[in-house]
Amino acid sequence: MPKILYVVVPCYKEEEVLPETAARLKQKLDGLISCAKISASSKILFVNDGSSDGTWQAICRLHTTDPFFAGVNLSRNRGHQNALLAGLMIAKEHADVTISMDADLQDDIGAVDVMLDEYYNGHDIVFGVRSKRQLDTFFKRRTAAAFYKFMHTLGVEIVPNHADYRLMSRRALDALEGFKEVNLFLRGIVPMIGYKSTTVKYKRGLRFAGTTKYPLKKMIAFAIEGITSLSVRPIRIISIIGLLSFLGSMVMLIFFVIDFIRGNTTAGWASTIVSIWAIGGLQLLAIGIIGEYIGKIYLEVKGRPRYIIESVLIKKDKE
């Protein structure tokens, strides 16, 4: 029996691209329904992440024109990860399987077919992985590769070159709901579920319209969020560096005592100043990293909701 599929699409200021995204996704799902690969009750669920443009109005028009389109409107901007989670949790109540993707049409819609094949082959999670990053700048390619290597070094299980283009079964979504942290990094959380998973490679295209919502500043913040949300090794590294610095200072102390006994005088102004600046910088870095973790603890213990849903547009199919 064909399964009900919900395609979850987080949207933030995507008014320009939304009509084209809706048309292409509708065409794809119509084809899958016609060949009985998915149920006719399947839908495309757009999640408006507090956009200040006409994104929600566009979603409402799509829903009014064709109930095949559904919508979720968050009360305010909560960020891509929270918007995506909100859509997945809503979709979980109606769908057997979900596929999440961005609204900018950079993710290859054609990969949906292969993802569904893997789902029917028994996989609860299917990660969409870029086959190449030739469209990225040299800087972005290098920093992305360094990020994945660094995360692996920290012991974080993360799929390289995977964004948030993935398939998840209802069972996997039920497990995801059990992760209650406020600081969300779904690319690191989903692999922790542990159910049978696989990857599907695809070519990532250019944005159809509009501008990227992830400039360098946001990418850096997102990387820091991922590192500090999933690993405590940075704090352990600080402890190791502190221990090594202490041992180094003991060695230098012995050296200076011996040098003093020999009657040698040390000018050493440059080395003294450099040492002070180096140790001071290291201390500030350590305090900053520890402060990042304390800030996350502060947010977690408050227990504030990760998102608030203002309205939902889903037409229920007739029994």
- In the block, residue with structure tokens 């502060």: 298
Share of the chain above pLDDT 70, in %: 76
- Does this model's pTM top 0.85? My answer is no
Exposed/middle/buried for 167, CB within 10 Å: 0-12, 13-18, 19+? buried
Residue with tokens 């201390």: 283
- Write down the CATH superfamily of domain 5-136+159-211+306-313: Spore Coat Polysaccharide Biosynthesis Protein SpsA; Chain A (3.90.550.10)
Residues 91, 222, 157: CA angle, nearest 5 degrees: 75
Cα–Cα distance for residue pair 24/148, rounded to 1 Å = 32
**Residue written as tokens 């547009």?**
313
Copy the structure tokens of residue 76: 């305010």
Chain centre to alpha carbon of residue 242: 32
Q: Which of 123-132, 133-142, 147-156, 308-317 has the lowest mean pLDDT?
A: 133-142
Q: Residue 262 above 90 pLDDT?
A: no
CA 87 to the chain's CA centroid: 14
Are 257 and 250 a contacting pair, CB within 8 Å?
no
pLDDT in tens, 157-178: 788 888 889 999 999 999 999 9
The pair of structure tokens assigned to 156 is: 């974080």
- Out of 73-77, 209-213, 234-238, the most confident range is 73-77
Model pLDDT, residue 10: 95
| Local confidence band at 319 (pLDDT 50, 70, 90 cut-offs) | very low
Q: Which residues contact 314 (CB under 8 A, 6 or more apart)?
A: 43, 45, 70, 71, 90, 94
73 contacts 308 by C-beta, under 8 angstroms: no
The answer to whether residues 110 and 184 touch, using CB atoms and an 8 Å cutoff, is no
- In sequence order, the 6+-apart residues with CB closer than 8 A to the CB of 80 are 10, 12, 49, 164, 213
CA nearest neighbour of 311 among 29, 43, 37, 72? 72
Query: What residues are paired with 129 via a beta bridge?
Result: 162, 201
Quick: pLDDT tens for 9-27. Answer: 999 999 999 999 999 999 9
